[in-house]
Amino acid sequence: MAIKITLGNSKGGVGKTTTTCLLAISLAKHFNQRVLVVDFDAQADATDFLMRTFQVNKDLTNHLSIFDAIKSPKRSQEAVLVLDDNLHLLPSGEELSGLDLLLLEKGVFGKFEAGLYLDLVIQQIEHEYDFILFDVPPTSNIQNINAIVASDYYIGVMMTQAKSYRQMAGFLKESEKTAASARESKYGYEGAELLGILMYLENKKSNIDFTVISAALETYGDAILYSRVYERERVKRYDLIPPNPNKFDQHDKKIFAMYDSLAHEILMRVGKVSATEPKLRIQQLLDLAADSLNRDEYNTLAAAFDAAQFYRDDATEARDFTAAQLATVLRDIFENAPAQKRRTYIHRILDWLQTDEDLKSLQHVFA
């Protein structure tokens, strides 16, 4: 059975749809997971993004949508659009705005049963997937209720803005309320659980971002995912020129390093990957230097970075650098280093790890 996850926030413009789509690509292309994205927003932004990304030039006028599947669940499979071997889409459209009226006509509007219709669709097709990701509108409405009822987990996506932080509380409260209603219903639901809160950083050096991050950590503690997503011009560019999922350039690889780390953490949190397995972020730190290191040297550095919790983006942020920046510095240190000097270099790095100094101080050691 698929693991079903809703990604949401009660505020728009927090990177929710982008995160859903890029996370889906990461899970499908880099972790060999069979993924279905369900676009449950009448704006259909996820549908547009994924169809352009996978160059699906199909007129959806006569193709069944999620709204059609809700009206006739047994036709749900017909509505699924194949994007790639491991990634499928259940598309949306403006007709989904008529969901409230449909439920009113069925006599269930305002009742708990109004929240069951998406799950009736998912029950027809979930056996074919490892993950199903729901993209929902940034409002507390019947789409959100249906998504939470159909989900096993939900993830709050919070941009480092004061309003996004405040709205997160509302999203979590409404999601737990819906999950509790599902558990208490006569239909045998276990109720969705909070999987984590993803921090979407606009500017890691901004005082406002730092304040919001600090407040979020104090309020939500371990619920904050250690993987972070940073706003990048490259991601904004995807609205014009989407990535080629079959041939990433160096800029795309940097973007997907963030989403791969997020995907790996999710796989750990849902139990599909052992929590004792080395964190993907540690591999990413050493990726550019790996060819210059022997196995013992690589393992020594990996263990040291793991002990320093450098798989946590907040741990590197506290020292004023990102994982990508550290990876580049490590590449420069070891790229042309003579074998007889590598051990000395590693000891210098280990000494640096015992301090709270930034990346420039490490570079200065090797200047």
Q: What is the pLDDT of residues 221-261, one digit of tens each?
A: 999 999 988 888 888 888 888 888 888 888 888 889 999 99
Lowest-confidence region among 100-109, 265-274, 286-295, 356-365: 100-109
Side-chain half-sphere CA neighbours of 37 within 13 A: 36
Q: What is the pLDDT of residues 142-154, one digit of tens each?
A: 999 999 999 999 9
Q: What is the pLDDT of residues 186-200, one digit of tens each?
A: 999 999 999 999 988
Which of 116-119's residues contact partners 24+ apart within 8 Å by CB, and which partners? Answer: 116/146, 116/149, 116/187, 117/70, 117/146, 118/38, 118/40, 118/66, 118/70, 118/143, 118/146, 118/147, 118/149, 118/150, 119/146, 119/149, 119/150
Name the residue ranges covered by the structural domains of the chain: 3-273, 284-365
Identify any residues that bridge with 157 across adjacent strands, giving them in sequence order: 198
Which residues, in sequence order, are CB contacts of 195 under 8 Å at separation 6+? 5, 153, 154, 155, 266, 269, 270
Smallest CA-to-CA distance from 16 within 44, 46, 38 is with: 46
Cα(217)–Cα(170) distance, integer angstroms: 17
CATH superfamily of 3-273: P-loop containing nucleotide triphosphate hydrolases (3.40.50.300)
